[in-house]
Amino acid sequence: MADLSTVSRPPAAPATRVPRNAPRRTMLYLGVIAGGLVMLFPFLWTVVTSITTDGNLSGGPTLIVEDPTLDAYRTLFEALPMWRIVANSFGVAVAATVFQLITGSMAAYGFARLQFRGKNIIFALYLATLMVPMQVLVVPLFIQMTRFNLNDTYFALLAPSVASAFGIFLLKQAMESVPRELDEAATIDGANHLRIYATIILPLVRPALATLAVFAFMSSWNSFLWPLVVIRSPELMTLPLGLATLHGQFTTAWNVVMAGSVISILPIAVVYLFAQRHIIAGMAHSGLK
């Protein structure tokens, strides 16, 4: 008969230990969730207001909709040529984004990879323009467009946003993180600067390009001051100008205004959702906080 005292027993399961930082981590998660809800509240309020009737809005703002309706959206499309306005904003924003990617990447390649006299001074002047607000440039730009008889045209809407000093800075920081050994190896194989720029540098800085694309699209899409100054024809209006016309002198249909705001938010939200992974990587690789 076997001695039961010598029979091996399975090891006891280790006691579950609660990490010391569990309360702190829980508080951190709760704080992040609370902050997300606070930032989400204005967008939720905008959507709820856009599907609320005027009668229900007379009692003040609310997040509970008794009889949701899309009448505000119908009124919006009847009051304004929304398809034309959205097409204008989208076309100008896409064109500005494409031009900023082209001009910014080429200038950034020159500052990051080429050696020429006065490079640091010129780049410092580019950075200095970041401290000049758009409000200061409106008058000289308007005078310049008037002398060339370009006011009230698509070119006038697009011209100030063809190049961006911020985009050049962002892409230069990203290109400087690319090892120069790749350039040297391509040069030995007979590649010129244009081929190195197109086939080596650009594919490696795609996150920074995506970041600049989102910033450029958002800036052009939300631009209000410059289109207000340079555009007079209703058929050339962009979305911010169209939404501004919805405000009456004495009363304002806020559900219609919020319906227009929802339409203006959707494209930016979609662009950001598709590019958020590249944006985070681009900000990290370019050294920006």
Q: DSSP labels for 236-276?
A: G--HHHHHHTTB-SS-B-HHHHHHHHHHHHHHHHHHHHHHH
Flag the least confident range among 108-117, 129-138, 215-224, 268-277. Answer: 268-277
Q: How confident is the model at residue 27 (pLDDT cuts 50, 70, 90)?
A: confident
Q: How confident is the model at residue 19 (pLDDT cuts 50, 70, 90)?
A: low
Q: Which domains does the chain have, with CATH numbers?
A: 95-248 (1.10.3720.10)
Q: How confident is the model at residue 184 (pLDDT cuts 50, 70, 90)?
A: confident
Residue 289 has pLDDT above 50, yes or no: no
Residue 288 has pLDDT above 50, yes or no: no
CA distances to 134, 202, 227, 229 from 161, in Å:
11, 21, 12, 15
Give the pLDDT score at 118. Answer: 87
CA distance 124 to 120: 6
The pTM assigned to this predicted structure is 0.79
CA distance 104 to 287: 17
Residues 242-271 have a mean pLDDT of 81
75-96: per-residue pLDDT in tens? 888 888 889 999 999 999 999 9
Summary mean pLDDT of the chain: 83
Give the pLDDT score at 87. Answer: 92
Q: Name residues whose C-beta falls within 8 Å of residue 76's C-beta, 6 or more positions apart in sequence.
A: 82, 246, 256, 259, 260, 263
